[in-house]
């Protein structure tokens, strides 16, 4: 039987069958675990809208993905538009694994190539991008094709293959520009042959390669042509050459999180980013990384050109890219950087596969001598030793696959994920007829775009992108598609623009919880949104709309940052309602239950604990209130530690510090009320440590010392008034103390 299996594995048709099995196995996994609608992931809602309308996506436009996605929706009529594009990503992901398999079997046995590609297929990040409507899985497929074509040109060189590579590189850059980072690795692989070839007809061949690269890259002119037709989605309106060039070079994309790295010195965040890539690698390749040093050495022995090519691929797309990105290691920024880990992972694939093969090959040393001696026992021992090495390497790869499956599959499964569509439904339910809704964050905004423009729900309302509202192209596009209505700039912080927009809407204007509002803008809660310049009285019935994603995922881990961020919109809605009711002494059991629900949605948020404390003290239960105030303070302290780990900007840290101070203040009051004055003082001092300009903490300290230390009382009251001269109670009591 063992001889039969051995012969079967060595047959060429087995290698082909294994490759097809790999493709269909992972196509099935990805299709099954894809979200049934838009997933709450980055720009998926926008991409679905762009593809549906053949619009212009955000910079640099992604024309190849848009056009291929449109073709895919016509060829894959298996569900709603969003799922069809999720399935397209699944096809691209499975296709990339198949191309990698074809590449690896040039170096290793088919079973090693199969195992290593299967391990990559279970990579959490790879699985994620293969189940959502984004261009990343297509990008990995295109990278695989480029590398395969370059290796083929290296093995059987012809200048025609160089021409083909030039064309493909230009074309593939119209999906994502960063695929250009692969070019140095391809150049090193083919440098010797190309250099020799260019000794004859140098200018002709260079011009020919450049022409074919330009031909592929010319697909970007789709943006210019399509924008002149004024599509519904027309980001930056690249209808003239100057704007077109600004779009494809991303010069007109200056207010995105991608550019937050500009707040840090060059290379300042390199080591934290390297650390997170290493964590990613160990999390996804686990035990198989043991093979990397062996594969590194094996490739060096096989071919110096291939060795330096794969090493360059890793360095340029890994450490060098992370150095340039210079992103803070917070969950949002890491979620943006994470898909870029997949290209350097390709180098790990090579080293792991070759490493396993190198260990097995190590037993062949002296094999020819054994065979020459024709000693039966020696040959038997050699075969036995080789089998043990095969079992050892196979076991390590299999264990890595099993670990990845158990570790990653539950987190990557989006089969029942309705977060984004549920959220958009709840927002639309909150808006009265003819209203205007302003949203800012990508997932929140694009989910509303999808529901209105693709699902055709609530055509009566106007969805305004706050971040785009100040752009002339957005205002003009809105005017074309909305019967002459044009939004004002709501992104500048100018409160007068908000007032003018509210007047234009007939005081029928609302904002989602992620929108950034001027501090003095009047608003009241209304379901999942807030009404600004409210023309209606508060109605508790309008605040009863929290589905929490059908409760299906409540209390369970989120797939990624973006799902958690969407849940935060629900938490903010509950907290906003709690603040409104608390200020009017109207806290009730319904809001208490919603606050409990918030703790399940995200136990790390401090505000739900804070308002649970307010609820219980409003009922006279200071003991329970004290417990929740303490949990709120501890949650804020944990956030401060995370802010330090994330290298957060000063403004963000200041905001959390002030929130922590407020929690400590209320904890101190509850300690004082329950008979712990010494502990209360410590809480007030902690509040002042977090916010030295917190006037109320000084005032509370004065009250605490009212009957114990008159000098301390005067000192604290003076400190209160120094920070807040308008503090009426401090002024009143200070006057009383001075009279005494």
Q: What is the DSSP secondary-structure string of 665-712?
A: HHHHHHHHHTT-HHHHHHHHHHHHHH-TT-HHHHHHHHHHTTTT-HHH
Cα 509 to Cα 532: distance, rounded to the nearest angstrom: 6
* The pLDDT value given to residue 360: 87
How buried is 605 (Cβ within 10 angstroms: 0-12 exposed, 13-18 middle, 19+ buried)?
buried
Query: Going by DSSP bridges, is the β-strand pair 436-439/462-465 parallel, antiparallel, or unpaired?
Result: parallel
Biggest CA–CA distance in the chain, Å, is: 114
Q: Is residue 97 predicted with pLDDT exceeding 70?
A: yes
Cα 698 to Cα 318: distance, rounded to the nearest angstrom: 51
Among the residues of 122-269, which ranges form H helices? 124-129, 136-155, 159-172, 183-197, 202-217, 221-227, 241-248
Cα 194 to Cα 186: distance, rounded to the nearest angstrom: 11
Q: Is residue 519 predicted with pLDDT exceeding 90?
A: no
* The pLDDT value given to residue 10: 53
Percent of the chain with pLDDT over 70: 92
Query: Taking the CB of residue 732, how many other CB atoms lie within 10 A of it?
Result: 10
Contact, 531 vs 523, CB < 8 A? yes
Cα 238 to Cα 215: distance, rounded to the nearest angstrom: 20
* The pLDDT value given to residue 256: 45
Q: How far is C-alpha 703 from the chain's CA centre?
A: 48
Q: Average pLDDT of 201-210?
A: 92
* The pLDDT value given to residue 558: 87
* The pLDDT value given to residue 99: 97
Helix (H, G, I), strand (E, B) or coil at 646: coil
Angle, CA 619 vertex, CA 617 and CA 625 arms, to 5°: 30
pTM: 0.90
The answer for 39, left when phi > 0, alpha when psi is -120 to 50, beta otherwise, is: beta
Cα 493 to Cα 517: distance, rounded to the nearest angstrom: 7
Packed helices 342-361 and 304-315: angle between N→C axes, nearest 10 degrees: 140
How buried is 593 (Cβ within 10 angstroms: 0-12 exposed, 13-18 middle, 19+ buried)?
exposed
* The pLDDT value given to residue 550: 65
Percent of the chain with pLDDT over 90: 76
- Token digits of residue 618: 């409003």
Helix (H, G, I), strand (E, B) or coil at 510: strand
Q: Phi, psi (5° rounding) for residue 525? A: -70, 145
Contact, 419 vs 561, CB < 8 A? no
Cα 612 to Cα 673: distance, rounded to the nearest angstrom: 17
Each residue of 185-200: pLDDT tens digit? 999 999 999 999 888 8
- Token digits of residue 38: 């838009």
Helix (H, G, I), strand (E, B) or coil at 60: coil
Cα 174 to Cα 168: distance, rounded to the nearest angstrom: 10
Each residue of 359-387: pLDDT tens digit? 988 755 544 444 444 444 444 444 455 67
Each residue of 126-138: pLDDT tens digit? 999 999 999 999 9
Q: Is residue 122 predicted with pLDDT exceeding 60?
A: yes
Contact, 188 vs 313, CB < 8 A? no
- Token digits of residue 41: 């992931």
Beta strands in 586-686 (DSSP E): none
What residues are paired with 464 via a beta bridge?
A: 438
pLDDT, mean over the chain: 90
* The pLDDT value given to residue 76: 84
Q: Find where tokens 């026992």 sit.
A: 377
DSSP 429-486: HHSPTT-EEEE-SHHHHHHHHHHHHTS---TTSEEEEGGGTT-HHHHHHHHHHTTT--
Q: Cβ contacts of residue 532 below 8 Å, gap of 6+?
A: 498, 502, 509, 510, 511, 517, 521, 522, 523
* The pLDDT value given to residue 12: 61
* The pLDDT value given to residue 390: 87
- Residue 120's nearest CA partner among 286, 309, 9 is 286
Cα 333 to Cα 264: distance, rounded to the nearest angstrom: 14
- Residue 82's nearest CA partner among 446, 568, 426 is 446
Q: Quick one: DSSP state of residue 558?
A: P
Cα 101 to Cα 120: distance, rounded to the nearest angstrom: 11
Cα 655 to Cα 337: distance, rounded to the nearest angstrom: 25
Helix (H, G, I), strand (E, B) or coil at 529: strand
Element (H, E) at 395: helix 376-412
pLDDT bucket at 708, cuts 50 / 70 / 90: confident
How buried is 573 (Cβ within 10 angstroms: 0-12 exposed, 13-18 middle, 19+ buried)?
buried
- Token digits of residue 469: 């509202």
* The pLDDT value given to residue 739: 61
pLDDT bucket at 722, cuts 50 / 70 / 90: very high
* The pLDDT value given to residue 501: 92
Cα 123 to Cα 130: distance, rounded to the nearest angstrom: 10
What is the total residue count of the chain? 740
Q: Is residue 434 predicted with pLDDT exceeding 90?
A: yes
Question: Omega before 60 cis (within 30°)?
Answer: yes
Beta strands in 329-399 (DSSP E): none
- Token digits of residue 103: 């590449």
* The pLDDT value given to residue 460: 94
Contact, 460 vs 62, CB < 8 A? no
Element (H, E) at 566: helix 561-583
């Amino acid at each position: 039987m063992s001889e039969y299996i051995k012969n079967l594995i060595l047959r060429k048709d087995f290698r082909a069958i294994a490759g097809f099995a790999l493709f269909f196995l992972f196509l099935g996994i990805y299709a099954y675990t894809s979200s049934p609608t838009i997933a709450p992931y980055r720009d998926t809602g926008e991409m679905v809208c762009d593809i549906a309308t053949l619009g212009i996506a955000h910079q640099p436009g992604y024309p190849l993905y848009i056009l291929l996605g449109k073709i895919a929706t016509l060829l894959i009529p298996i569900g709603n538009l969003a799922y069809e594009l999720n399935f397209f990503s699944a096809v691209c992901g499975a296709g990339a694994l198949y191309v990698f398999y074809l590449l690896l079997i040039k170096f290793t046995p088919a079973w090693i190539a199969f195992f290593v590609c299967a391990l990559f297929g279970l990579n959490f990040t790879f699985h994620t991008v293969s189940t959502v409507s984004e261009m990343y899985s297509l990008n990995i497929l295109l990278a695989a094709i480029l590398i395969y074509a370059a290796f083929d040109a290296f093995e059987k060189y012809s200048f025609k293959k160089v021409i083909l590579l030039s064309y493909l590189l230009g074309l593939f850059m119209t999906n994502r520009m960063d695929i250009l980072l692969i070019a140095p690795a391809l150049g090193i692989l083919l440098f010797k042959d190309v250099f020799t070839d260019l000794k004859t007809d140098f200018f002709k061949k260079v011009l020919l390669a450049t022409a074919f690269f330009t031909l592929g890259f010319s697909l970007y002119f789709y943006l210019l042509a399509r924008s002149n037709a004024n599509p519904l989605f027309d980001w930056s309106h690249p209808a003239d050459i100057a704007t077109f060039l600004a779009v494809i070079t991303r010069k007109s994309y200056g207010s995105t999180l991608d550019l937050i790295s500009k707040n840090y010195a060059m290379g300042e965040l390199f080591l934290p980013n390297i650390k997170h890539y290493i964590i990613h690698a160990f999390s996804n390749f686990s035990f198989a990384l043991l093979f990397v040093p062996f594969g590194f050495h094996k490739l060096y022995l096989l071919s110096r050109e291939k060795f330096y090519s794969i090493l360059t691929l890793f360095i340029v797309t890994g450490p060098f890219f992370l150095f340039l990105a210079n992103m803070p290691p917070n969950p949002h920024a890491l979620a943006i950087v994470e898909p870029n880990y997949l290209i350097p992972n390709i180098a790990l694939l090579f080293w792991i596969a070759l490493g396993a093969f190198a260990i097995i090959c190590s037993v062949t040393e002296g094999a020819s001598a054994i065979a020459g001696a024709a000693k039966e026992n020696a040959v038997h021992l050699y075969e036995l030793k080789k089998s043990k090495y095969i079992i050892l390497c196979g076991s390590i790869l299999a264990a890595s696959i099993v670990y990845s499956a158990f570790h990653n599959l539950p987190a990557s499964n989006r089969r029942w994920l309705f977060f984004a569509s549920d959220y958009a439904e709840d927002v639309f339910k909150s808006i009265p007829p003819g209203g205007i809704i302003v949203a800012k964050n990508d997932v929140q905004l694009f989910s509303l775009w999808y529901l209105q423009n693709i699902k055709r729900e609530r055509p009566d309302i106007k969805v305004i992108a706050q971040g785009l509202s100040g752009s002339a192209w957005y205002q003009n596009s809105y005017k074309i598609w909305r019967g002459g209505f044009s939004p004002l700039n709501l992104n500048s912080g100018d409160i007068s623009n908000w007032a003018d927009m509210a007047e234009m809407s007939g005081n029928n204007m609302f904002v989602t919880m992620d929108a950034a509002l001027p501090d003095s803008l009047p608003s009241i809660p209304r379901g999942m949104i807030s009404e600004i310049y409210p023309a209606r009285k508060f109605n508790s019935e309008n605040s009863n709309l929290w589905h929490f994603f059908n409760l299906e995922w409540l209390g369970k881990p989120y797939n990624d940052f973006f799902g958690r961020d969407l849940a935060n919109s629900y938490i903010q809605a509950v907290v906003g309602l709690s603040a409104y009711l608390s200020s009017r002494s109207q806290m009730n059991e319904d809001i208490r239950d919603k606050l409990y629900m918030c703790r399940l949605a995200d136990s790390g948020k401090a505000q739900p604990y804070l308002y649970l404390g307010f609820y219980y003290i409003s009922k006279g239960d200071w003991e329970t209130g004290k417990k929740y105030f303490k949990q709120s303070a501890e949650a804020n302290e944990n956030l401060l530690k995370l802010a330090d780990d994330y290298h957060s900007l000063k403004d963000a840290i200041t905001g959390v510090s002030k929130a922590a101070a407020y929690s400590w203040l209320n904890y101190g009051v509850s300690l004082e009320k329950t008979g712990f004055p010494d502990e209360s003082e410590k809480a007030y001092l902690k509040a002042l440590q977090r916010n030295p300009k917190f006037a109320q903490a000084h005032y509370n300290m004065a009250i605490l010392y009212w009957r114990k230390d008159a000098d301390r009382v005067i000192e604290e009251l003076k400190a209160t008034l120094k920070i807040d001269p308008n503090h009426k109670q401090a002024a009143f009591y200070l006057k009383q103390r001075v009279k005494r």
